[in-house]
Amino acid sequence: MDINNNNSYNKNNNNFVFTDAKGNPISYAQGNKIHNQDELKLKRNFKSQFNAVLKKNVTYQWRQRKNNACLLVNIIFLVVFMCIINLIVKVYLKDYSTPAQLHPYAGLPSLYLTNSDKCIPKMYPESLFYLDHVITNTNATNEIINNIQQSEQPIGLIFGQSLLGKASTFCKVGAQSLIYPLTMEKIDSNVTQLNDEIFHSWRRLSIMGGYDFKSINNENLELTIVFNKTLTRYKDLPTLFQLVTHAYNSLIGSNSNFTSIVYDGLRDVPHGKIEPNFDLVSLMGPMLYMFIFQMPLPFILKLLIYDKETKLKDLMKMMGLEMKTYWISNYIVSFLLYFISIIFLWAIACLLGFKMFLNNAAIVIFILILAFGHLLVSFSFFLSVFIDRYQMGLYFGYLWVLFTGLFTNNVIHDILDSKFTPESSVFAISLVPAFLLYRGLLGLQNGALIEEITLDNWNDRDYLMKDVIVYMVIEATIFLILALYLEEVVPSKYGVKRHPLFIFKKSFWFKKFNEPITLRPILEGEGPDVHAERDRILNNPQIKALEVLDLNKTYGTKQAVKSLALAVDQGICFGFLGPNGAGKSTTISCVSGLFQPTSGTARVLGMDIRNHFDRISMVLGVCPQDNVLWEDLTGEEHLLFYGRLKNINGKRLKEAVDASLKSVYLDTEAHKMVKQYSGGMKRRLSIAISFMGNPKLVCLDEPTAGLDPATRRGIWNSIKEHKGKCAILLTSHAMEEVQELCDRVGIFVEGEMKCIGASHELMSRYGEGYKIKVSIQPDREQYVTHFITSLVPGARITHSMNNIIQYQLPRSDSVKLSVLFREIQLNLDVGIIDYGISGTTLEEVFLKVCNKKYNEA
Ligand SMILES: Nc1ncnc2c1ncn2[C@@H]1O[C@H](COP(=O)(O)OP(=O)(O)OP(=O)(O)O)[C@@H](O)[C@H]1O
């Protein structure tokens, strides 16, 4: 098959070799040039991979629709619950509207002294008076008036926020002036004009109140205090009266002939008809919406952790998926999960007339929703680093929503509401996404109760919405960067993590320039065939499917792989044998890019895994030890996904998937979801996945472990179908499987390759010779043994029971099978009923190599 004018693709002895015009083998990595058309497919295609992950995620989420519907049901439940209560309260409040008043009547002033611990926060000295709620005709009122009037020093007063709103202030004992509760401004209009003006603009709520000084001289202080009841939320401002009188008294000082105060009382500003403005949803809003806005968190955590827990993320990575594409696609799906639920909430809220959503500019609400969405998703990414089980993620998510909701309502609300809270505390609180959301929701609430938030006023003192949104964007960015960094370094059950300072290492930034590693020609203590393997790698210029060059892998203090040297030719199936814990899976994980070798490296088709893993993964297929599948996707959907990862699209993809399903006998089960598959079917699907996209090297980690003989044979057939088209690295504990499938075998013990070669070579090299099993007549053991040892000197009994004896013949060229057969056949009368001769099995070689190791130890 000519690829282009210069290069060709030859198939010799089942070996596929890319060669240049002169017939020299070429590596995919050589010179960073594209050598042939096929090589183009080595490049990861962002569009194709993004399409694959997005389609898979959307299909998977659609299958999770029952679970996802819970999210919407939770939202509906909370909203409907609030609506019902709101409705009941509104019906009850219907008769409480206040008619329009151009000249509202004056009311009685009153004062309330409290300096008990109960009402005064401990931080205030007891000599300060705290003025807040209004109670008329109490002794406390008289007491405070007396105190104020008789005091020679200014009296310390604290005005409760509920009395004066945000304009309240606080005056220390000994201060020169008493208090400046409201900004004073002289208005050049008389009371009537002022009344008219206020009456027409009272809804704009810009006037908090005023003093009307009717007559002021050394003997008289006549004033009216006007205040805006709507703005001050139904609180009287009686204290203003006292303040002004006292201030006046202080001002005129000892010259005072102050004899009378004409008191006109307090009255509301002129206003139009006031309907009861009670909106429970707005009042409860921040807390209610806290729950709703954060409700997607557990669902997003589940989505992120599931792939990690089930090792699907690792497999996708090994099969060529670029992590950047994975994160972007997951980010989008998570964001959509949040966004759809919040838009749904918005729609319901508008339908039901919730003021927080209706009385504020839609653009401001939309920006807040977007900003918090990004923060929530980034925060979920961050949390997912520390959680290994998706069930745990779900529980944690729900607890977080509940806890932050309740905590905000009971603690954070008070802290944020107090004007004594220093900016630094507000900043610290804002670092927690849930509390920052609360600040944003408080802004919306204030907008609903005071004045619509628009892009013009969104950073006014009462809303600070712009600040909140900027905080959200900054925090989202920080959480995302932290998540991506911690994902690489925080220890977890899955995958091997990097050094915390990896970004400061040169190899991180310049990994394309990792020095080539030359295999050591000889290593002390290695057997002759392992030496020969090193020679083969060093002296054979042909590009191999896989070359492992002095690969070491250490987990903490455990050295799992020790200076492994191995080459697998193209088109060859290499069997990797070894006892449990020998390091076979670790080798596959290093070769397939899941783990970074501690030292040494591997080359796939001439490309170094340290420098070209992005290309290697496109020609790599992996079937891990456990089935790593999405339970809620069908077999066909799995293959479509992995096919797209490998840049196969359109008609070719459909054909490849059909062929793949057929090759593992799953074509009739293609549309069943994996959760309905049996263990054998899942295993067959895993194998089909590993061969998807015509990989050049396939790693099969115990492909038939735990399967019945019939299924095992089926899987062997599918592997045989692919054999020759690519190199296969197969680990197994089943000797007959290795004998059946593998051209070469390596036995690996405690991280070291002990022997390597074709199975028959190993059997003859490590085998002890032939065995004869004879069935004898009773009491003839002595005669038969004499006969066998006379025939083959050195033959010894290895097993004798129930007149069946097994003899081990010495390993010697002098033992000729044909002679043995003939002699036994002629001398059956020594007492032999039946007999059989067998050679050394691979299992015996395996046991011998392993036992040798253990005996040495
Ligand atoms: N993530 C890990 N962290 C620490 N040690 C590990 C890790 N993975 C494997 N090991 C250790 O490394 C050694 C080799 O393990 P590996 O899984 O590669 O063996 P194996 O030959 O595949 O075994 P098996 O046949 O049982 O699958 C074992 O001692 C194992 O305990």
Give the chain's radius of gyration (CA, Å).
42
Per-residue model confidence (pLDDT) at position 159: 38
Cα of 553 to ligand 1 centre, how many Å?
10
Residue 578 Cα: closest atom of ligand 1: 21
Distances (CA, A) of 857 to 332, 582, 750, 850: 55, 15, 11, 11
Residues 6+ apart with CB under 8 A from 834: 774, 775
Q: Is the pLDDT of residue 725 over 90?
A: no
Residue listed under structure tokens 């999210």: 71
Determine the Cα angle at 322 with ends 317 and 327, to 5°. 95
- Give the chain's mean pLDDT: 75
Which residue's alpha carbon is at the smallest distance from atom 16 of ligand 1? Answer: 583
Residue 107 CB burial class (10 angstroms; 0-12, 13-18, ≥19): middle
Residues 448, 278 contacting (CB under 8 angstroms): no
More confident residue, 40 or 601: 601
Cα of 305 to ligand 1 centre, how many Å?
23
Residues 37, 43 contacting (CB under 8 angstroms): no
Which residue's alpha carbon is at the smallest distance from atom 31 of ligand 1? Answer: 581
Residue 561 Cα: closest atom of ligand 1: 14
Cα of 751 to ligand 1 centre, how many Å?
10
What residue type is 7 in one-letter code?
Answer: N
Residues 27, 42 contacting (CB under 8 angstroms): no
Q: What's this model's pTM, rounded to 2 decimal places?
A: 0.69
Cα of 449 to ligand 1 centre, how many Å?
63
Residues with CB under 6 A from ligand 1: 555, 558, 560, 578, 580-586, 625
Residues 594, 560 contacting (CB under 8 angstroms): no
Structure tokens at 171: 């005056």
Cα of 148 to ligand 1 centre, how many Å?
82
- ipTM value, please give it: 0.96
Structure tokens at 837: 């001769």
Q: Which of 493, 557, 559, 585 to mutate to test the pocket of ligand 1 (most atoms within 8 A of CB)?
A: 585
Residues 574, 728 contacting (CB under 8 angstroms): yes
- In tens, the pLDDT along 641-673 reads 999 998 888 888 999 999 999 888 888 999 999
Residues 418, 339 contacting (CB under 8 angstroms): no
Q: Which of 586, 589, 595, 731 to mutate to test the pocket of ligand 1 (most atoms within 8 A of CB)?
A: 586
Residue 587 Cα: closest atom of ligand 1: 18
Which residue's alpha carbon is at the smallest distance from atom 27 of ligand 1? Answer: 580
- In tens, the pLDDT along 540-556 reads 777 788 999 889 998 88
State how far Cα 239 lies from the chain centre.
56
Cα of 559 to ligand 1 centre, how many Å?
10
- In tens, the pLDDT along 106-128 reads 443 333 333 333 332 332 333 33
Q: What SS3 state is found at 130?
A: strand
Structure tokens at 107: 């009311």
Residue 782 CB burial class (10 angstroms; 0-12, 13-18, ≥19): exposed
Q: What CATH number has the domain spanning 508-763? A: 3.40.50.300
State how far Cα 430 lies from the chain centre.
23
Q: Average of pLDDT values for 234-251?
A: 49
Which residue's alpha carbon is at the smallest distance from atom 7 of ligand 1? Answer: 555
% of residues, the chain, pLDDT over 70: 69
Residue 585 Cα: closest atom of ligand 1: 22
Residues 28, 35 contacting (CB under 8 angstroms): yes
Residues 576, 747 contacting (CB under 8 angstroms): no
Which residue's alpha carbon is at the smallest distance from atom 30 of ligand 1? Answer: 581
- In tens, the pLDDT along 118-174 reads 332 332 333 334 333 333 334 544 554 455 455 544 443 433 333 333 333 333 333
Residues 6+ apart with CB under 8 A from 391: none
What residue type is 851 in one-letter code?
Answer: N
Bridge partners for 240 per DSSP: none
More confident residue, 666 or 494: 666
Q: Which of 311, 584, 590, 700 to mutate to test the pocket of ligand 1 (most atoms within 8 A of CB)?
A: 584
Residue 586 Cα: closest atom of ligand 1: 18
Q: What SS3 state is found at 324?
A: helix
Residues 580, 603 contacting (CB under 8 angstroms): no
What residue type is 708 in one-letter code?
Answer: D
Cα of 303 to ligand 1 centre, how many Å?
28
> Regarding the domain with residue range 768-839, which homologous superfamily does it belong to in the CATH classification?
ACT domain (3.30.70.260)
Residues 202, 269 contacting (CB under 8 angstroms): yes
